[in-house]
Structure 1
Amino acid sequence: MSDILLLSMPYGKSYGKIDIESLDFGVPPVGLAYIGSYLKSAGCDVRLVDLMFSTSNWEEVRTLIHKESPKWLGISATTPQINEAFTTAKIAKELNPDMQVVIGGIHASALPEETLSNENIDILVYGEGEMTMLELVEGKVIDQIEGIYYKRDQKIIKNPPRSLENDLDKFPYPLYEDLPLERYGGEHVGATLGIISSRGCPYQCTYCAANTIHKRKFRKRSIENIVGEIEKFKHLFKVTKFSFYDDTFTLDKNRTVAICEAIMKRDMNLEWNCITRGDSLTKPLLEIMKKAGCSMVQIGIESGSNEILRKAKRRETVEENLQAVHWAKQAGMEVVGLFILGLPYETEETIKQTIEIAKKSKVDYAQFSILVPLPGSEVWDLAQKGEAIELITSNWEDFGRYGRSIIRLKGLDEDALSKYFVKAYKKFYMRPSYIIKKLGKVTNLASFLNLSKKGLVLLKLIK
């Protein structure tokens, strides 16, 4: 039994056509893990459970909540998971009507009143949750707690927002101890442990909803704090592979160099990867990253059209992205190119340009997705106004990646976008030169089986 139970929701249909049971790896609930560790450091009795790969097995969820019988149930859910969150809350209230159900995350922060209108949710946390959740469970007077919505006399009350914490070092390392760490990582990098070395991103990309919580404010942990976490988890969990989940890991180039130098100074012998932008990479930076153990970078190329990038407020160019990929390859890294089809004002011609740039760029892997207008993003606001983009569903389960299009644009309906999505994957991965190159890297049975599995996932995606 635990006083506080934190639950990360099942992926459900978050990956569209991709069956989550076919995936070897997922992303850990780092946000909830930080909340869990903060509560635990304050002496709270807390348990964190990740239901990521549960395929909506509600009896399993019911048994878990009944066994723990918590006073507080904390739920985090993305937009395509929100219905699972509501079902979980309903189960909790059926088991114990007095259990306090709290929900948080980007979706809840973007649509607080709609989310809290669910009869089984008691309190909604908007913004960052560590300090807010602690004040809730410690019994602070509810109308004095910043960063929440709550109900009183059948009315929804909004308290003032909580200021973002600038000193990220005050938060203990994430509570990973009870999580299935062997299931976290990526299809291209294998099992890795996730680290967030900074929070927030100052850019204004129209399709991104992260600003809902971080308000485009970039905050960073100290180098000692970051490396301390790596050292602790390396020894505690016997891992040497890490993934940095920062929105833009190399945003502050000097900081990135300092992290690399600290890793090398301690002779940590790590392998790691990160996500970043092409215009925040330089050849010398990539070289030192490689020396420090960076084996792969994921670069948000997004479009092959400079005009579409400009309208998406990317503030970078196709040429900068191609240069970054070239430098990364020269440094000896693998590169994943991230692309979005269906950005506002997209045309058939610009989509074709994106597919061609993906092939021309020489990235090792291309990850295409159709634009999903997430609540909290600028494209969501455009869709609500019917400007440049039309949303054709109100079912949150349809807001997953890699599924059929849920939007239509002028001159490009949902069927056309869905067909281009499939075409993009076929054009990139079905090239004879690409297949031959990948087969040439097969050195043993394990690598052959791994390649075969990736092929089967791809076939399901494009059928």
Structure 2
Amino acid sequence: MKKIVFIEPKPPDFHIFTKMPMPRLGTVLLGTTLKENGYDVKSYVEAIEDIDIRDVLQADAVGISTITSTSPRAYEIARLVRKSGIPVFIGGPHVTFLPDEAIENCDYVIRGEADEIILDFIKALERGSGFEAIPGLTFKKDGRVVHNKGVSYCKDMDNIPTPDYAIVKGLEDGLSRMSVTPIMTSRGCPYDCSFCSVTGMFGQQYRFRSKERVLAELQRHKDLGGDWVFFYDDNFAANRKRTKELLKAMIENKLTPPWTAQVRVEVARDPELLDLMKRSNCHTVYIGFESVNPETLKIYNKKQSVEDIENCVKKLHNSGINIHGMFVLGSDHDTVETIRQTVNFAKKNDLESIQFMILTPLPGTRFYFEMEQQNRLISKDWSLYDAHHVVFTPKNMSYYELQAETYRATKKFYSIGQIIKRAVRFEMFTASIKAYGYNLTKKWGKKNEYFLEYTKSISSAGKRIELAAKNTAEDIKERFREIELASGMPAKISNE
């Protein structure tokens, strides 16, 4: 067994980051580990390059990484590859929490962090035995599903390799296809928001790589001609002392590409941190403000107030740092008026960009468990679980009101007037972002007219109406059919 192919399926719909494709790192890191141990590895990130089906069918094993919204496509790809006799394993947050569902579509499920077990797993595949000894593995034995004990979190983050992007189809010649390069400096988040699956997947203990390893990766990024960097952490400044040490080292070593990261409002309480962020070339921060409703902030377990949010916006703007504000709408304390107040807040506080997301019960979260217990899930078509579709019964709004008002709020923020406002202030970067948001919102609305009508129907009927599952893998199935016709599949394609 020498050739391993990884696949990261594309999302079922467009979103604000569609124009800036980048891998989610999981498959790249695992592939790098295997490559360093002598395996021939290729990774297909569909957001960057289409899957070459013939190449995939030459593999000795295929690994697929999936989040909830991409899981229907992941399962379809897995079933098609298995049909040709190639073993398939799936990992990622969704299957970590729903392994019994996943194992019906593949041969093996890897739950949790796979960095320290991927090599042992591949060697077990080569031997055809030893699966019982691999932590975090789900598989079938004699028709019975076996769930091995959970895998431990990776304690020494420096053991994780620097990602080799050359294994990604489309990135073999450098980073030019990625306008933004992800660099991971930590895992885990000490907070535990009720709708977030991060702590279930990576834990609440904040684990980070040494600044020397991060600097080495920044130097490599520079040497490869990389441009922007996105620090691929769930909370880049969770440990402010450590973040400040890293930023000082970046400045001292002149490794200061324009960078972005996810942070919390607490960064605004530390003037030294804000100064270092600006001097190290921080351009934009992504902040989960989540709500302007104090009661919603409490049930989300955000541990922040509306005053904290306003203070954070003011201080970041005073420091010359742009803000991408993320809001989650639809809690049991939210109303139509809450949504309208949210967009007014975003405009009043001059946020550069926003995402108004619909509260989504992702498997692995407390919110998912609550909605299941209360029988409030209206669909388990996972392709709709992208934070842009209503998939549960709201308390103080109809399905249609939550869906339509969220869409209207997005249109109001990314309006022609907002674009002109930024342009006349000569803020051309922000004007272009708002123009992009305007066009994307129009496209999303046109593509999802059917879903708006669906929410209107179930709102007026006062009951659930089954919605046909979205077709998320027809293109892949058609390409497999073409190969079957051309080569007598479903047997594995011959090398001859």
TM (norm. structure 2) is 0.82
What is the CA–CA distance in structure 1 between the aligned matches of 2:350 and 2:208, rounded to whole Å?
A: 32
Conserved 8 A contact 2:22-2:180? no
Conserved 8 A contact 1:304-1:356? no
Conserved 8 A contact 1:2-1:47? no
Other-structure match for 1:401:
387
Three-state SS of the structure 2 residue aligned to 1:52 is: coil
Structure 1 residue identity aligned to 2:257: L
Other-structure match for 1:149:
138
Other-structure match for 2:322:
334
Three-state SS of the structure 1 residue aligned to 2:309 is: helix
Conserved 8 A contact 2:31-2:167? no
Three-state SS of the structure 1 residue aligned to 2:116 is: helix
2:165 to 145, 168, 176: 176
Other-structure match for 1:64:
55
1:274 matched to 2:265? The reply is no
CA offset at residue 450 of structure 1? 7.3
TM (norm. structure 1) is 0.88
Three-state SS of the structure 1 residue aligned to 2:324 is: strand
What is the CA–CA distance in structure 1 between the aligned matches of 2:411 and 2:24, rounded to whole Å?
A: 32
Other-structure match for 1:43:
38
What is the CA–CA distance in structure 2 between the aligned matches of 1:19 and 1:455, rounded to whole Å?
A: 10
Matches for 1:59-458 after TM superposition, within 5 Å: 60-66=51-57, 69-95=58-84, 97=85, 99-118=86-105, 121-139=106-124, 141-179=130-168, 180=171, 181-184=175-178, 191-235=179-223, 237-281=224-268, 282-386=270-374, 390-402=376-388, 404-430=389-415, 432=417, 435-441=420-426, 452-458=435-441
Structure 1 residue identity aligned to 2:247: C
CA offset at residue 153 of structure 1? 0.9
1:459 matched to 2:442? The reply is yes
CA offset at residue 433 of structure 1? 5.6
Conserved 8 A contact 1:279-1:321? no
Where does the alignment leave 5 or more consecutive residues of structure 2 unmatched? 447-496
CA offset at residue 385 of structure 1? 0.8
What is the CA–CA distance in structure 2 between the aligned matches of 1:284 and 1:249, rounded to whole Å?
A: 15
Superposed CA offset, 1:36-58 (max 9, x none): 1122222222222212256xx7x
Other-structure match for 1:187:
none
What is the CA–CA distance in structure 1 between the aligned matches of 2:234 and 2:423, rounded to whole Å?
A: 29
Identical amino acids, percent of aligned pairs: 27
CA offset at residue 442 of structure 1? 6.7
Structure 1 residue identity aligned to 2:272: P
Structure 1 residue identity aligned to 2:184: I
Structure 1 residue identity aligned to 2:442: L
Structure 2 residue identity aligned to 1:337: G
Structure 1 residue identity aligned to 2:231: F
C-alpha RMSD of the superposition: 2.3
Where does the alignment leave 5 or more consecutive residues of structure 1 unmatched? 185-190
Three-state SS of the structure 2 residue aligned to 1:263 is: helix
Conserved 8 A contact 1:78-1:105? yes
1:32 matched to 2:17? The reply is no
Conserved 8 A contact 1:107-1:375? yes
Query: Structure 1 122/371 Cα, relative in aligned 2: closer, same or farther at 3 Å?
Result: same
Conserved 8 A contact 1:11-1:53? no
CA offset at residue 435 of structure 1? 2.8
Query: Structure 1 53/44 Cα, relative in aligned 2: closer, same or farther at 3 Å?
Result: closer
What is the CA–CA distance in structure 1 between the aligned matches of 2:418 and 2:27, rounded to whole Å?
A: 43
Structure 1 residue identity aligned to 2:26: G
Further displaced range: 139-148 or 278-287: 278-287
1:9 matched to 2:4? The reply is no
Structure 1 residue identity aligned to 2:6: L
Superposed CA offset, 1:2-36 (max 9, x none): 521111112223x4xx599xx42123131111111
Other-structure match for 2:487:
none
What is the CA–CA distance in structure 1 between the aligned matches of 2:242 and 2:16, rounded to whole Å?
A: 38
Three-state SS of the structure 1 residue aligned to 2:362 is: coil
What is the CA–CA distance in structure 1 between the aligned matches of 2:107 and 2:79, rounded to whole Å?
A: 11
Three-state SS of the structure 1 residue aligned to 2:34 is: helix
Three-state SS of the structure 2 residue aligned to 1:338 is: strand
CA offset at residue 459 of structure 1? 2.4
Three-state SS of the structure 1 residue aligned to 2:301 is: coil
Which runs of at least 4 in structure 1 moved beyond 4 Å after TM superposition?
446-454
